[in-house]
Chains A and B, each alone.
Chain A
């Protein structure tokens, strides 16, 4: 009983510490995390829909899911590049990273729109 309680307490303590650590992240990174979450959720809803009605225009399903996944991946890349604690990208101005993000998204969405059918 004590062990269970302690494991439950451990989980709770872990969760709280994560939460407080997360609160310390800068706001722009939080915006990007929110964006990623939004994209992933949209992808999940599309998968649930396909699972229920069948994959008939498969190309449309793929393009929808891949657009969400693609934009999430690009956002993650942006986060990596913009994060000030990341020593690797110290010399890269965040505006440049953002410009890359915008460009790649536009290209991704062109391809997605073509494949949507």
Chain B
């Protein structure tokens, strides 16, 4: 439902425009060159000084102030032909018929309210659906209700037998009803069939009992529950309940106690206490989001309440005592939506507005303007229209312009309170000569509507003052425009060129870094006041597409920009050459905003020193920037030169030689195995010891070939423990043997 709010704001709130313009103004500020610039030669960068920041903050506060004033003013337009064309698009037949009776009814009702010619195939499809439902005996009260509702518009014929069957089944439904929706469909169906069939005599049995059971579902805050089991209440249900109760009253008003009906008026006023408000003065009903299925958004809830309210007001006598501006607020809510994009939302909007168009409570009158932008050059007159929500004629009334205030200032009104002249032919209230005192700018006009017949005050509601934002545009005079090259030290003029900003210019100037450039012109409004446009820029573009933009400052009417090239040398990246000059002066209310090329200036700047900043790279042709780049060939690390395999194998053989030498030497020394233990236990230990060492060395070979360190260490752990035991065994035996020998 927030999307609706967005549509509301974007479609009619012209404050967005003024807000955007202010934002533009604020964005322009950082580009200012402070007049007291002490740009140090080393840095040369223009940093935001404290005064600059204070100015932007003040600008922001003005923005907030304007926004707050804007909140009050808004413009609502009555229903127009754009709604009719949208309706044709939204309510389309799907495979020759609508999906449900509810949709059939909605489409027919929308076409009826908007006064559009019903498409013949729509009516035919509807009639088929209706007769199907009416004829079948298994139709639920809900189906019958919607079929009868659609029939009240489509006016298809129903057989007498069928209508008798409907009446009996609806009566049975009323007797057996327990929840609010059961009552709604059954009672509503009976009311409809009473209007449609002339012969049948509808009698609602135990009307008072039914009334009381519906009333029992109400709550103290004005909302209704759907059934006695379900504790959740909603305003949507309240609307349905009011419609049901109105139906009961219309069926059997003579049987009901009048005091019962008057208690309902209290319920209605309590319900209206829970009304919610948006900032622009629109009012709506909304339920808390409890369960996704049951939740109806503000649009359907408010529509339901309005339907119930107007249905109830139609059947009761006496006043409902509802303040008229609440009805007006509800009307503004529905009009503020614009054209909904969903068929259901469209129906809710149009149905609710139809209730507002003619009802017994109060009929809201909407003040709208065909155009809120007035041009002083064309001598536009201020036109105002006051109509009902559907654009029908209002009763005799007068429209007064109470005041006109300049946006963003709280000064007194610029015009005296005056009445607008009513033109019978066009139905507009026109004011012709207000523009004598109004200059270009944005204003808030305050209107008041006064009904001329005192009896109309009871029937219609107009609201108090309506604030409307108005823009007055005009032709701004640009005079005395000239561009001058000055000598920096002496201030003497070297060359001067007058510009004609309305026409073509091709000034050709030249300057060096010791000189200054001064551009000046005057802006005057049609009434002769000073004018500050939103945009006043001078752009210098170098041949290499490097651009620099400067804001033209003003004091009163005189606009002047002085460029001291000595201080700008570094900003220009030391680029000498031809610069194109382009002046932009623009504003929303300026009818002759301009963007003109003034001419060229040939700038002679000194050479760039070593450490000077380079100009930023200019955007290249987008296709080449995002196109394929040059291919990179990766150069892999050249593999090391390895020796020839034969050499390596030869040296491998050479390495074996010392081992052979060792073995031969051992033999020559006469090694023997005499010390090997003879007894079996130490002998096995000895053998196992050597086997163990061999196993460890073999493990190392495997480690080198394929195992990793963890596996090796694991195995080594086991082997090591084994080796320790075995080694200890054999060596201790040998040690004991040699000790015995020594002692012996």
Which residues of A are interface residues toward B (Cβ below 8 A)?
27, 30-31, 34-35, 37-39, 41-42, 45-46, 48-49, 52-54, 56, 93-96, 98-99, 102, 106, 109-110, 113-114, 116
Contacts and interface: CB of A to CB of B under 8 A. Distances in A.
Contact of B662 (A34, A93, A94, A113): A34
A110 B716 contact: yes
Contacts of B669: 27, 30-31, 34
Interface in B641-665: 641-643, 647-648, 651, 654-655, 657-659, 661-662, 665
A113 B704 contact: yes
B658 A102 contact: no
B658 A96 contact: no
10 contacts: A35-B662, A45-B651, A45-B657, A53-B643, A54-B641, A94-B738, A95-B734, A102-B727, A110-B716, A113-B704
B731 A109 contact: no
A109 B700 contact: yes
B731 A99 contact: yes
A77 B642 CA distance: 38
B735 A27 contact: no
B666 to A, nearest CB: 7
A109 B699 CA distance: 11
B640 A41 contact: no
Of A45, A54, A98, A113, chain B has the most CB atoms within 10 Å of the CB of: A113
A41 B657 CA distance: 9
Contact of A106 (B696, B731, B732): B696
Contacts of B290: none
B643 A96 contact: no
Contacts of A53: 642-643, 647-648
Contacts, number: 81
A98 B703 CA distance: 25
Given A38-B659, A38-B662, A110-B716, A45 B654 contact: yes
A96 B661 contact: no
B700 A38 contact: no
B732 A95 contact: yes
Nearest to B643: A53
A52 to B, nearest CB: 8
B412 interface: no
A100 to B, nearest CB: 11
A52 B662 CA distance: 25
B708 to A, nearest CB: 10
Contact of A113 (B651, B654, B700, B731): B700
A19 B606 CA distance: 93
A39 to B, nearest CB: 8
B64 interface: no
A45 to B, nearest CB: 5
Contacts of A113: 700, 703-704
Contact of B709 (A31, A38, A54, A114): A114
Contacts of A52: 643, 647
B502 interface: no
A37 B665 CA distance: 11
Contacts of A49: 651, 654
B659 A34 contact: no
Contacts of B322: none
A116 B712 CA distance: 15
Interface string B686-716: 0000000100110010011000010010001
A114 B716 CA distance: 13
A24 to B, nearest CB: 14
Nearest to B659: A38
Contacts of B640: 54, 56
B175 to A, nearest CB: 96
Contacts of A93: 735, 738-739
A32 to B, nearest CB: 11
B658 A110 contact: no
B688 to A, nearest CB: 14
Contacts of A31: 666, 669, 671
Nearest to A114: B709
B454 interface: no
A45 B658 contact: yes
A38 B703 contact: no
Contact of A34 (B665, B696, B703): B665
B628 interface: no
B318 interface: no
Contacts of A110: 700, 703, 712, 716
Contacts of B661: 37-38, 41
Contacts of A38: 658-659, 661-662, 665
The list of the 7 closest CB pairs from A to B, nearest first, reads A38-B662, A53-B643, A41-B658, A95-B731, A49-B651, A56-B640, A95-B735
A35 B658 CA distance: 10
B292 interface: no
Contacts of B665: 34, 37-38
